[in-house]
Amino acid sequence: MSRPRIAIPLDANVSGRYEQPRAYADAVARAGGLPLPIPFADPSLAAEYLAACDGLLVAGGGFDIPPERYGEPRRPGCGPSRPGRTAFEEAMIEGALAAAMPVLGVCGGMQLLSVVRGGTLHQHLPDDLGVSHEQPPPKDVPSHAVDVSPGTLLERLVGPGTLTVNSTHHQAVRLPGRGVAVTGRAPDGVIESIELEGATFALGVQWHPEVLAAHDPRHLAVVAGLVRAAGERR
């Protein structure tokens, strides 16, 4: 049987070249999936891209969701936005959820998963909560724990108790969107994982399991859960 096809929308650099860290594709392939890089384009193309895929992985990136998208003015700590990529990924998420397609949001992808459902964000954690979640290099090692809520999809994937994760973000979910359950928090209270109620597989994680997956099976299990759910949907 062929591998489940996992869409991974790409980023674009300042020179206009599409790109994405290869760790995403490597983790999907290691988990048994077929990574399909998708160039972000007109949001009206999202449905056609999704028709060629079995699951969706929305990656993070060096930009912030426009705060106007969740009804707030931009504050000084908010970073640059990429409205074109955000609009395309929003259309991909909405289309995938409507089609009961498995979705995994990583870092900024988790934040967008909540915003799509009407959630809001901390625009800059040092300003809003007085905490920093930007660990110094190296970025591929854990730096803090996450308390995993019992009885959740995340717990079924990684096991009970705490999970140690890396941390490379300055924003986070503030108020979860409609039907968005918080399933993991850092010791300082920052939301680290969410799930969409009623969905077979709609998970967001604030850390980067694709980076840690190469040497920690619990993090590979997060990506493997997406691949497995995508295969079962076919």
Say whether 208 is catalytic.
yes
Alpha carbon distance 187, 194 (integer Å): 16
Q: Which of 78, 107, 169, 195 is labelled catalytic? A: 107
Alpha carbon distance 92, 106 (integer Å): 14
Alpha carbon distance 205, 113 (integer Å): 10
Exposed / middle / buried, residue 162 (Cβ in 10 Å: 0-12, 13-18, 19+): middle
State the DSSP code for 122: E
Q: Which of 89, 133, 210, 219 is labelled catalytic? A: 210
The answer to whether 23 and 209 have CB atoms below 8 angstroms apart is no
Alpha carbon distance 107, 168 (integer Å): 8
The answer to whether 158 and 221 have CB atoms below 8 angstroms apart is yes
Say whether 107 is catalytic.
yes
Residue type, 165: V
The answer to whether 31 and 217 have CB atoms below 8 angstroms apart is no
Residues ≥6 apart with Cβ < 8 Å to 48: none
Active site residues: 107, 208, 210
